[in-house]
Chains A and B, each alone.
Chain A
Amino acid sequence: MKENKKIILRVENIHKSYGKEKILKGVSFEIKKGETKVIIGPSGSGKSTLLRCINQLTIPDQGKIFLENEEVTHHKKEINQFRQKMGMVFQGFNLFDHLNALKNVEIGLVKVKKMDKKAAKEKAIEELKQVGLKKQANLYPAQLSGGQKQRVSIARALAMDPKVMLFDEPTSALDPELIGEVLEVIKKLALAGMTMVVVTHEMGFARSVANEIIFMEDGMIKDQGTPYKMFNNPEHERTRKFLYKITELYGKSEE
């Protein structure tokens, strides 16, 4: 299955500072169609900032982002078109509180893609079905559990038919017993061939789903490789130490 797949996303030399603090110090990587790349690393390493730079929610100081060979950076006017093609799932869910689950998924289709209302509703229901929440369509975010909220937010992002999905620590804000249901959905997505970048601490998940694991620290990529290589034979001692600690904390589930 290792044909020459198309490169969906290319991140080139991203730098970002907030005031005097340099958060990202030249990060580059690329991801091919259908691949899942998992980014791990200690807090403050710039992982979330990097993701937000990809869809320009944060504008990098230096560097370029390419989506399917088209440059995303420096195109303020077209950024909204690009964002439609990139789905983002946030740590804090960020569901629209004044809309029920169905409308949350629908709104991008109706207001951004200008879809016909009936067609949008059908698509939204289908997406909710895919994440197992068809029955909760009329419930409001405040009435949903954390895991349900996150699954709705995944459905919302998927409804836009993105080329790549960006997950920013999707389970970090969830109670332990709710993490599983969300990881299930993300795994299903990966197996179905979605191109994804996932920032997470869930090592078991990373091990079983990632094509490549990227280790970031201090705003730079320090190490990268297949799960097998990273867990058994990383190039850097620091990587080994970090993975050991994290695996201890979060458990080695999903062997």
Chain B
Amino acid sequence: METITFIREILLAPLLEGTIVTLKLIAVSIPLGLFFGILIGTGRVYGNKFISSFCTIYTLFFRGSPLLVQLFILYYGLPSIGIFFSPFVAAVIGFSLCSCAYHSEYIRGALQSIKSGQMMAAEALGMTRFKAILYIILPQALRRAIPGCSNEIIYLIKYSSLAFIVTCVELTGAGKIIASRYFEYTLIFAVVGAIYLLIVSIVTKVLNILEKKLEIPGIG
């Protein structure tokens, strides 16, 4: 029964603390990533030459390089030019910047899949391009982007574990710290893994319900 005592007395509290940090990380990063992803995706499709090029280069960089490298740049690199972030803030910024690049690709694909007639009809009514994008194109495109963006959200939940490598102690970090002290890697990471599986399952369920609720009657 040593195992159960171990779990209860030594493991549970730190892991719970770590889980809360993980939840905080994703609670901030997911909306930020999604919001800027919409901006960048829309900018790439509908923006002028400068905006569009900027969005393309942005996406190229943040999708072409590993998230971990980006985190290193933010946490270990920037201090050398005078910018200091706490581990949590660096992690959130890194997750948001990276995630939004992936979201922007899904948004871009969805925007480009909307029939051109929709924009024509909106403009024929006298809407400005901006209004047409806001009220007609985006509401439809966002629904189409849900599967892709849901996928990215799940990815972010898992990649939040990288925050540990820039010294932000979330769930994985908490596990590693205990594990190195007690040499109980298998047990501890089995529990850590189980917690991630639980979080991912719950969020997947929620996203599925959301997708159902937002369905346009008659389509799909």
Segment from A35-43, A91-99, A195-203 that makes contact with B: A91-99
Residue of A nearest to B139 (CB): A98
Is there contact, CB below 8 Å, between B121 and A143? no
Per DSSP, chain B at the interface is helix
* Chain A residues, CB < 8 A from B124: 55, 57, 83, 86-88, 90, 157
Contact with B along A76-111 (1 / 0, CB 8 A): 000011111011101011111110000000011001
Would you call B128 an interface residue if the criterion is a C-beta within 8 Å of the partner chain's C-beta atoms? yes
Determine if A83 and B123 form an interchain contact, defined as CB atoms under 8 angstroms apart.
Answer: yes
Residues of B contacting A84 in the complex (Cβ-Cβ under 8 angstroms): 125-126
Instruction: Count residues on chain A whose CB falls below 8 Å from chain B CBs.
Output: 31
A119 part of interface (Cβ distance < 8 Å): no
Contacts of A86 in B (CB 8 A): 124
Q: Is the CB of A156 within 8 A of B125?
A: yes
In the assembled complex, B135 has its CB within 8 A of some CB on chain A? yes
Which residues of B have CB within 8 Å of A107?
125, 135-136
Q: Which of B95-153 contact A (CB under 8 A)?
A: 115, 117-118, 120-128, 131, 135-136, 139-140, 143
**25 chain-A/chain-B pairs, Cβ below 8 angstroms:** A81-B126, A82-B126, A83-B124, A83-B125, A84-B125, A84-B126, A90-B120, A90-B121, A92-B115, A93-B117, A94-B120, A95-B121, A96-B136, A96-B140, A97-B219, A98-B136, A98-B139, A98-B216, A107-B135, A107-B136, A140-B217, A140-B218, A156-B125, A160-B125, A160-B126
Binding site for B on A (CB under 8 A): 55, 57, 80-84, 86-88, 90, 92-98, 107-108, 111-112, 139-143, 153, 156-157, 160
